[in-house]
Amino acid sequence: MNDEIRALAKTRWRVAIALSTVVFALYFGFIFAVAFAKEAMAAELAPGLSLGILLGALVIVGAWVTTWIYTTWANTHFDAKLAGIKGKET
Protein backbone atom coordinates (compact mmCIF):
# COMPACT_ATOMS: atom_id res chain seq x y z
CA MET A 1 0.00 0.00 0.00
CA ASN A 2 1.50 3.33 -0.98
CA ASP A 3 1.78 6.47 1.14
CA GLU A 4 -1.15 8.23 -0.54
CA ILE A 5 -3.52 5.40 0.32
CA ARG A 6 -2.22 5.30 3.90
CA ALA A 7 -2.74 9.06 4.27
CA LEU A 8 -6.24 8.75 2.82
CA ALA A 9 -7.04 5.88 5.18
CA LYS A 10 -5.82 7.95 8.15
CA THR A 11 -8.02 10.85 7.08
CA ARG A 12 -11.03 8.58 6.72
CA TRP A 13 -10.33 7.12 10.15
CA ARG A 14 -10.10 10.60 11.72
CA VAL A 15 -13.39 11.70 10.16
CA ALA A 16 -15.12 8.48 11.26
CA ILE A 17 -13.78 8.78 14.83
CA ALA A 18 -14.78 12.46 15.08
CA LEU A 19 -18.33 11.80 13.90
CA SER A 20 -18.63 8.70 16.09
CA THR A 21 -17.53 10.79 19.07
CA VAL A 22 -20.30 13.28 18.30
CA VAL A 23 -22.89 10.49 18.19
CA PHE A 24 -21.61 8.93 21.44
CA ALA A 25 -21.66 12.34 23.15
CA LEU A 26 -25.24 12.96 22.02
CA TYR A 27 -26.41 9.52 23.08
CA PHE A 28 -24.63 9.32 26.42
CA GLY A 29 -25.43 12.95 27.20
CA PHE A 30 -29.08 12.10 26.73
CA ILE A 31 -28.80 8.96 28.86
CA PHE A 32 -27.08 10.88 31.67
CA ALA A 33 -29.71 13.61 31.46
CA VAL A 34 -32.45 11.01 31.80
CA ALA A 35 -30.64 9.43 34.74
CA PHE A 36 -29.60 12.53 36.65
CA ALA A 37 -31.94 15.34 35.58
CA LYS A 38 -35.30 13.60 35.71
CA GLU A 39 -37.20 16.71 36.74
CA ALA A 40 -35.77 18.77 33.90
CA MET A 41 -36.43 16.03 31.36
CA ALA A 42 -40.02 15.77 32.56
CA ALA A 43 -40.65 19.48 31.98
CA GLU A 44 -43.57 19.84 29.63
CA LEU A 45 -42.86 22.15 26.69
CA ALA A 46 -46.26 21.72 25.07
CA PRO A 47 -49.20 19.46 25.78
CA GLY A 48 -47.87 15.93 25.26
CA LEU A 49 -44.29 17.06 24.58
CA SER A 50 -41.71 16.90 27.34
CA LEU A 51 -38.11 18.01 27.11
CA GLY A 52 -37.04 14.36 27.30
CA ILE A 53 -39.11 13.39 24.27
CA LEU A 54 -37.79 16.34 22.29
CA LEU A 55 -34.17 15.60 23.19
CA GLY A 56 -34.65 11.90 22.42
CA ALA A 57 -35.90 12.80 18.95
CA LEU A 58 -32.97 15.18 18.51
CA VAL A 59 -30.53 12.37 19.36
CA ILE A 60 -32.01 10.33 16.52
CA VAL A 61 -31.87 13.29 14.15
CA GLY A 62 -28.26 13.92 15.24
CA ALA A 63 -27.34 10.35 14.29
CA TRP A 64 -28.95 10.83 10.88
CA VAL A 65 -27.12 14.13 10.37
CA THR A 66 -23.73 12.66 11.25
CA THR A 67 -24.39 9.76 8.88
CA TRP A 68 -25.30 12.25 6.14
CA ILE A 69 -22.14 14.25 6.82
CA TYR A 70 -19.95 11.15 6.57
CA THR A 71 -21.68 9.90 3.43
CA THR A 72 -21.40 13.29 1.75
CA TRP A 73 -17.73 13.60 2.72
CA ALA A 74 -16.94 10.07 1.54
CA ASN A 75 -18.72 10.56 -1.78
CA THR A 76 -17.15 13.93 -2.56
CA HIS A 77 -13.66 13.70 -1.07
CA PHE A 78 -12.68 10.14 -0.22
CA ASP A 79 -13.99 8.41 -3.34
CA ALA A 80 -12.58 11.08 -5.67
CA LYS A 81 -9.12 10.91 -4.10
CA LEU A 82 -9.17 7.11 -4.10
CA ALA A 83 -10.13 7.07 -7.78
CA GLY A 84 -7.26 9.47 -8.49
CA ILE A 85 -4.82 7.22 -6.67
CA LYS A 86 -6.09 4.15 -8.52
CA GLY A 87 -5.79 6.02 -11.82
CA LYS A 88 -2.12 6.74 -11.11
CA GLU A 89 -1.38 3.07 -10.40
CA THR A 90 -2.63 1.76 -13.74
Angle at 89 between CA 88 and CA 90, to 5 degrees: 95
Q: What is the C-alpha separation between 88 and 63, in angstroms, rounded?
A: 36
Q: Check if the beta carbon of residue 40 is closer than 8 Å to that of residue 50.
A: no
Q: Could you tell me where the beta strands, DSSP code E, fall in the chain?
A: 44-46, 49-50
pLDDT of residue 3: 87
What residue spans define the domains of the chain?
3-89
Per-residue pLDDT of the chain (90 residues; tens, 9 = 90+): 588 889 999 999 999 999 999 999 999 999 999 999 999 999 999 999 999 999 999 999 999 999 999 999 999 999 888 888 887 766
pLDDT of residue 90: 62
44 - beta bridge partners? Answer: 50
- Residue 83 is classified by DSSP as H
